[in-house]
Structure 1
Amino acid sequence: MKTLVATLIGPDKTGLVKQLAALIHQHHGSWQGSAMSELAGYFAGIVEIQVPAEHSDKLERALKSLPEFQVQLVEGKGPTLQGQQLRLTVTANDRLGIIQEVTDILDSLHISVKSLKTHSHPAPITGIALFEAQSTLTLPHGQTLGDLQSRLEALSDDLVVDIELL
């Protein structure tokens, strides 16, 4: 078996995920995992696919020939970092630089970001713009949750940190 990671960007329209799933299935591929979003009128997705080696070239050609899409394919590798998995949610008043500040701390603690999803939305009562980041992280052996939490909470008074072990 061969593992492919495909990134796709193109104009958003109904049926794209169905079209992609059918194409992968048609070429004997197995959809392993994905992250997809509509961003500013575009579909942006990343998909992990397992495919028998004898079918991988045809699948790669089919993916690259999707009309109106920019497609990039790489061969997958195994997981790189061992450690405790956790889910981190950070909420704060929206301002410039929140993600940079948070990722600076994660990097200084050698914490790997497995997934990250962010969005801004108005607060329910006040309407003030709130920023929220949800991520799945790998905490390496030797690092503590307490150190991560205290360093994140020290960023600002309005920052709310929620950490859940997975």
Structure 2
Amino acid sequence: MKSYLVMTVLGTDRPGLVSSLADTVSAHGGNWLESRMARLAGQFAGIARIECDTASVDALISELQAPGNSGLTILAVREEAEESATRRTVVVDVVGNDRPGIVKELSAAVASAGGNIEELTTGLESAPMTGQPMFRAHGIVSIPEDTESATLIAAIEGLGGDLTVDLSI
């Protein structure tokens, strides 16, 4: 029987870090199913979904979380996904002037429209003419089947006239 883990990893970035984690997963007969990883301010931040035989999962978690695991903080939990109501996903792109709290506002607007953020990447870039910081977000949002995309667009555009929103299915 198979078990599934969701693992988060945080620590000082270095060459071979992902290889070391993959070696540990493989040594326990695990299969690395999917992941998202980034280097942020010299730190490695990652999340991965792992499949492993149920008989090996406790040993894998113990080894991943062993003290002295090269200065990494690793949290691994068994996946216990519940069946949810039918939803559809949309790709959301938002661009606008940066300001403190914009991610808080954006996430609240998505939630108010019944949306759930499945993935989100945010960043700053310089505006072409002025060089002012521009906020950019790209994400995947799931919404109830019966919710119109226009509801989500209106909720995000309601945050201010300086935001442009693009949705695609």
Which bin holds the TM-score, normalised by the shorter protein?
Answer: over 0.9
User: Matches of 1:94 and 1:64 in 2, distance apart?
Assistant: 38
1:58-106 Cα shifts (integer Å, max 9, x gaps): 2112211222011111110225533111111111111112111111121
Q: Please report the RMSD computed on the Cα atoms of aligned residues, expressed in angstroms.
A: 1.4
**Hey, what's the Cα distance between the residues in 2 that align with 1:113 and 1:53?**
30
The SS at the match of 2:90 is strand
Match for residue 2 of structure 1? 3
Q: Which residue of 2 aligns with 1:137?
A: 141
Under a length normalisation based on structure 2, what TM-score does the superposition of the two structures give? 0.91
Equivalent position of 1:64 in the other structure:
65
TM-score after normalising by structure 1 = 0.92
Specify the alignment match of 2:40 in structure 1. 39
Q: CA deviation at 1:132?
A: 0.9
Q: Where do 5+ consecutive residues of structure 1 fail to align?
A: none
CA separation in 2, counterparts of 1:80 and 1:131? Answer: 34
> How many pairs align?
165
Aligned to 1:18: 19
User: What amino acid maps onto 1:13 in structure 2?
Assistant: R
Question: Which structure 2 residues correspond to residues 73-84 of structure 1 after superposition, within 5 A?
Answer: 73-78=76-81, 80-81=83-84, 82-84=86-88
Unmatched segments (≥5 aa) in structure 2: none
* Residue type of the alignment partner of 2:71: E
Identity among equivalent pairs (%): 31
Give the letter for the 2:110 counterpart. L
Output the CA distance in 2 between the equivalents of 1:8 and 1:151: 33
